[in-house]
Amino acid sequence: MAGKVEFRKIREFGEIIGDTFLFIRQNFKPLGKAFLYLCGIFLIGGVLTTMMAQFKLISASDQVSISPAYRNGYFASVISKFAFHYLLMYAFMLLSYISIHLTVLSYVALYVQKGNTAPNVEEVWSYFKFYFFRMLGNTIVMSLFFIICFVCCIIPGIYVFPAITLFYPVMIIENGALGYSFNRTFKLLKEEWWVTAAVLLVIWIITYACTTFAQLPGIILMMINTFTHAGKPITAAYAIISSICQYIAQIFMVIPIIGATLIYFNLVERKESSGLMDRIDSLGKAADQTNITPEEY
């Protein structure tokens, strides 16, 4: 039986991917419990708001088909009537994204601190509430930065993607501020960009395959509706199923988050060997304690 995953060690390409799934398997129940408690409300809210937005879209399409006069003011009506629902939907998407990242990273940080022991929900919650607003603000800033890089030119967006991915592990594990975490990621990636980008690419391909499989019922229903209801492919059943599948698929975001954390520790060990030095120190202390001769009276 495989031992517990040790984060603070140097890993090769395949080991990062293998240990990502090994960690998920070993911590499925405690991590799943923390995920359910801390992310559940945001996922449920996301499902409900997405359904509401879909139902509004169905209602609008029905009115357009019935009333030609309504068609003329369709776009203005969409903006005025649906703005609140879509803003709410995107708000829950953002909160779901933040809560998933924060829960998993807090769990890993505590797992490492406790000597590869699974933390409980209360411990993860203490990290979650401490970092929540920092995570919210930094996520908005980093998202805008990433969008600007892609808008200016696609290549800068691709270049900064590994750094943005590692930004969050640095922020949580090292308790870093925005500027520190941003600079720290680029220092860690120096001379390691290509390998890191390749590992992240493989991890994201696996994640994309998993999320696509989770959304398969909605995709199949959409294809059926396209052939059977050509004039109205978006139905109430599709709105419900696709909304649920969309947020079930977000569970698989755990894979790239843990993978990114393993990459972070791998880069830290390659450049600083902090985990190795800690283990050497602990072995020395253990040896000193075992060599203590009891006093004789």
Total number of domains in the chain: 1
**99 found inside a domain:** yes
Residue 169: give the domain boundaries.
13-281
* Positive/negative CA dihedral, 10, 14, 17, 18: negative
What integer pLDDT is reported at residue 50 of this predicted model?
87
pLDDT at 61 over 70: no
Query: Residue 150's pLDDT is what?
Result: 79
- The share of the chain scoring above pLDDT 90, in percent, equals 51
CB 101 within 8 A of CB 257: yes
4/295: higher pLDDT? 4
Residue 161 resides in a domain: yes
Q: Is the pLDDT of residue 59 over 80?
A: no
Residue 293 lies inside a defined structural domain of this protein: no
Has residue 234 been placed in a domain?
yes
pLDDT score of 217: 85
Whether the predicted pLDDT of 279 surpasses 90? no
CA distance 258 to 253: 9
Residue 19 scores a pLDDT above 50: yes
Kindly state the average pLDDT of the residues 216-220. 84
What is the tens place of the pLDDT at every residue in 77-124? Answer: 555 666 777 888 889 999 999 999 999 999 999 999 999 999 999 999
pLDDT at residue 293, rounded to an integer = 41
Residue 51 lies in a domain: yes
Tell me 294's DSSP state: P
pLDDT band at residue 55 using 50, 70 and 90 as cut-offs: confident
pLDDT at 128 over 70: yes
Confidence of residue 292 (pLDDT cuts 50, 70, 90): very low
Q: pLDDT by residue (tens digit) across 132-169?
A: 999 999 999 998 988 888 787 677 778 888 999 999 99
CB 29 within 8 A of CB 202: no
In sequence order, the 6+-apart residues with CB closer than 8 A to the CB of 7 are: 108, 111, 112, 116, 261, 262, 265, 275
pLDDT value of position 54: 80
CA 297 to chain centre: 61
In-domain check, residue 22: yes
- pLDDT recorded at residue 221: 80
Q: Note whether residue 197 is domain-resident.
A: yes
| H-only helix segments in the chain | 13-26, 28-66, 68-72, 74-113, 121-152, 154-173, 178-189, 193-214, 216-228, 236-249, 254-272, 274-290
Please determine, for residue 285, whether its predicted confidence score (pLDDT) is greater than 90. no
| Residue 288, domain member (yes or no) | no
